[in-house]
């Protein structure tokens, strides 16, 4: 177990204790420390109020002061320090109406979602574990802190977070927690789509995706998520981790793109990548010859080809056929790609202007088609990639 990730923060916490307050490592970092997983960010909880933190450190940034979080800049590094707090009532199954700052660690960890996320550790690595988080970590169990029905009724995001941790950690969900997830599944409709997508994205990438996705199907969760609720997702079977882009492309391939994709509020980049993957696979399905494959590789590139090869089992499980592995495999694809005479249109020494002169034709829709024909002829080596060879080829092969 590596403690090094925590060492930098210890002087900050000692500074807090010197002023008479408590400070602990909490949440994901403590969990991941015991699981010997990489620790990406360290959260510190303290009995000091945000005003008190601001008073005892020279350089602070009030990033989320209303709900207790202050950024402390200490010896050039940033530390996120959050005051112990409990949460007020929840009216809408999402965020609490207000938070109250408290002085006891116990109250702070009691409002946290799962036992494995509710452990705290002090600067001498002493564990404070009020809800058997350590036991559940060893047993590989996701279990809510307190009554799961109550906890999911407060905040429905915890349902999908629980499934996300199941997938990331390859854990089981405690049966009572799972039944409560089932009961509250429809409350997910109250959440903002951005928060759902952020969790779904992590969930899909987890090594326990198979279990987590079966759980999602079992509790009908996607029936309550906009856009996804239009698909027959009950028939999906996800046995390997995948990205959100790949998940979307899979849906498009199975049932086409549906209306209102904008409701998912995805980035243009994500949408574009899903479209490209979708069209790459669609076009691949009608490939008949080595020539077709050369052009396809030129259009989509080797990285995407490799991604699709890696996804072959996923596609196969869903009846999406790719060309035979005898023809479309890593070796064939890499060697064909290596042999491509050009990688981009920019490498062709002819443009629309030259073409219009050679053929003595005014501009028109034919031009784009002719340029594409030339591109394909160069890729498949029907002509050499010099201006004179291309012009010769054009005179023989392009009709306007």
Q: How far is the CB of 63 from ligand ATP (least distance, A)?
A: 14
State which residue, 118 or 204, has the beta carbon closest to ligand ATP.
118
Residue 215 burial (10 A CB sphere; 0-12, 13-18, 19+):
buried
Task: Compute CA distances 88 → 104, 154, 195, whole Å.
Answer: 16, 10, 21
Residue (52 or 113) nearer to ligand ATP, CB: 113
C-alpha angle with apex 181: 138 to 214, nearest 5 degrees? 75
Residue 143 assigned ligand-binding role: no
- Contact between 22 and 123 (Cβ < 8 Å): no
Judged by CB, which is closer to ligand ATP: 143, or 158? 158
The reply, when asked if residue 28 is annotated as ligand binding, is yes
Q: Rounded to whole angstroms, how far apart are CA atoms 314 and 308?
A: 10
* Closest by Cα among 221, 33, 250 to 137: 33
- The answer to whether 143 and 171 have CB atoms below 8 angstroms apart is no
**What are the start-end ranges of the H helices in 311-364?**
312-317, 330-339, 352-359
Rg over CA atoms, the chain: 28
Output the DSSP codes for 134-172: HHHHHHTEE-BSS-HHHHHHH-THHHHHHHHHHHHHTPE
Q: Is 161 annotated as a binding residue?
A: yes
Please identify which residue in the block is written with the tokens 């010769």.
Answer: 392
44 pairs with which residues across the strands?
25, 81
Question: Between residues 28 and 146, which has the closer beta carbon with respect to Mg ion?
Answer: 28
| Residue 117 interface partner, choices Mg ion, ligand ATP, none, CB cut-off 5-8 Å depending on type | ligand ATP
**Whole-angstrom distance, CA of residue 239 vs CA of residue 326:** 24
Least separation in angstroms between CB 346 and ligand ATP: 42
Least Å distance, CB 113 to ligand ATP, is 4
| Residue number with CB closer to Mg ion (27 or 148) | 27
Q: Quick one: what does residue 157 bind among Mg ion, ligand ATP, none, with the CB cut-off 5 to 8 Å set by partner type?
A: ligand ATP
Say which entry of Mg ion, ligand ATP, none residue 219 contacts (CB below 5 to 8 A, set by partner kind).
none
CB of residue 169 to Mg ion, shortest distance in Å: 14
Contacts of 289-292 spanning 24+ positions with Cβ under 8 A: 290/336, 291/380
Please choose which of Mg ion, ligand ATP, none residue 60 contacts, taking the beta carbon within 5 to 8 angstroms, the exact cut-off set by kind.
Answer: none
Q: From the list ligand ATP, Mg ion, none, pick the one residue 158 interacts with, judged by a Cβ distance below 5 to 8 Å according to partner type.
A: ligand ATP
Q: Between residues 50 and 68, which has the closer beta carbon with respect to ligand ATP?
A: 68
**Partner from ligand ATP, Mg ion, none binding residue 112, C-beta < 5-8 Å depending on class:** ligand ATP
List residues near Mg ion by CB under 5 A: 28
In angstroms, the CA 140 to CA 130 distance is: 17
User: Whole-number minimum distance, CB 30 to ligand ATP, in Å?
Assistant: 8
Residue 204 CB, shortest distance to ligand ATP, in Å, is 14
- Annotated ligand binding at 134? The verdict is no
Least distance (Å) between residue 176 CB and Mg ion: 25
Q: With the CA atoms of 216, 151, 33 and 244 taken in that order, what torsion angle do they form, in degrees rounded to the nearest 10? A: 30
Is 41 marked as binding a ligand? Answer: yes
Which among Mg ion, ligand ATP, none contacts residue 108 (Cβ within 5 to 8 A by kind)? none
Backbone angles phi, psi at 215, to 5 degrees: -65, -40
Under the rule (CB under 6 A), what is the footprint of ligand ATP?
27-28, 43, 112-113, 117-118, 155, 157-158, 161
43 assigned to a ligand binding site: yes
Which residues carry a binding-site annotation for Mg(2+)? 41, 43
Which residues carry a binding-site annotation for ATP? 28, 31, 112, 155, 158, 161, 164
Which residues carry a binding-site annotation for CTP? 28, 31, 112, 155, 158, 161, 164
Which residues carry a binding-site annotation? 28, 31, 41, 43, 112, 155, 158, 161, 164
């Amino acid at each position: 177990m590596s403690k090094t990730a925590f060492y930098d923060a210890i002087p900050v916490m000692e500074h807090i204790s010197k002023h008479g307050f408590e400070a602990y490592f909490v949440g994901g970092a403590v969990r991941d420390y015991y699981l010997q997983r990489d620790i990406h960010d360290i959260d510190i909880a303290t009995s000091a109020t945000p005003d008190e933190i601001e008073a005892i450190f020279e350089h602070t940034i009030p990033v989320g002061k209303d709900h207790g979080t202050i950024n402390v800049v200490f010896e050039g590094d940033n530390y996120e320090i959050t005051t112990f707090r409990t949460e007020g009532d929840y009216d809408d199954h999402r965020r609490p109406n207000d938070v109250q700052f408290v002085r006891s660690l116990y109250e702070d960890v009691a409002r946290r979602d799962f036992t494995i996320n509710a452990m705290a550790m002090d600067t001498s690595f002493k564990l404070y574990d009020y809800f058997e988080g350590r036991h559940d970590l060893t047993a590989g169990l996701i279990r809510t802190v307190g009554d799961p029905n109550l906890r999911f009724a407060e905040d429905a995001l915890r349902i999908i977070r629980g499934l996300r941790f199941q997938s990331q950690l390859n854990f089981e969900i405690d049966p009572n927690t799972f039944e409560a997830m089932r009961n509250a599944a429809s409350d997910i409709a109250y959440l903002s789509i951005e928060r759902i997508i952020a969790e779904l994205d992590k969930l899909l990438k987890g090594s326990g995706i198979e279990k987590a996705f079966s759980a999602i199907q079992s509790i009908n969760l996607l029936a309550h998520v906009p856009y996804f609720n239009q698909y027959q997702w009950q028939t999906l079977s996800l046995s390997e981790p995948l990205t959100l882009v790949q998940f979307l492309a899979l849906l498009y391939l199975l049932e086409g793109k549906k209306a209102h994709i904008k409701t998912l509020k995805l980035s243009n980049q994500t949408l574009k990548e899903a479209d490209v993957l979708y069209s790459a696979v669609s076009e691949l399905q009608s490939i008949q010859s080595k020539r077709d494959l050369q052009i396809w590789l030129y259009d989509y590139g080797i990285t995407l080809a490799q991604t699709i090869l890696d996804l072959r089992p996923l596609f196969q499980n869903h009846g999406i056929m790719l060309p035979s592995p005898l023809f479309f495999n890593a070796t064939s694809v890499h060697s064909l790609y290596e042999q491509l005479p050009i990688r981009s249109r920019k490498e062709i020494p002819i443009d629309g202007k030259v073409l219009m002169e050679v053929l003595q034709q005014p501009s028109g829709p034919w031009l784009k088609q002719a340029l594409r024909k030339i591109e394909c002829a160069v890729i498949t080596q029907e002509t050499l990639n010099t201006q004179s060879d291309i012009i010769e080829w054009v005179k023989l092969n392009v009709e306007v």
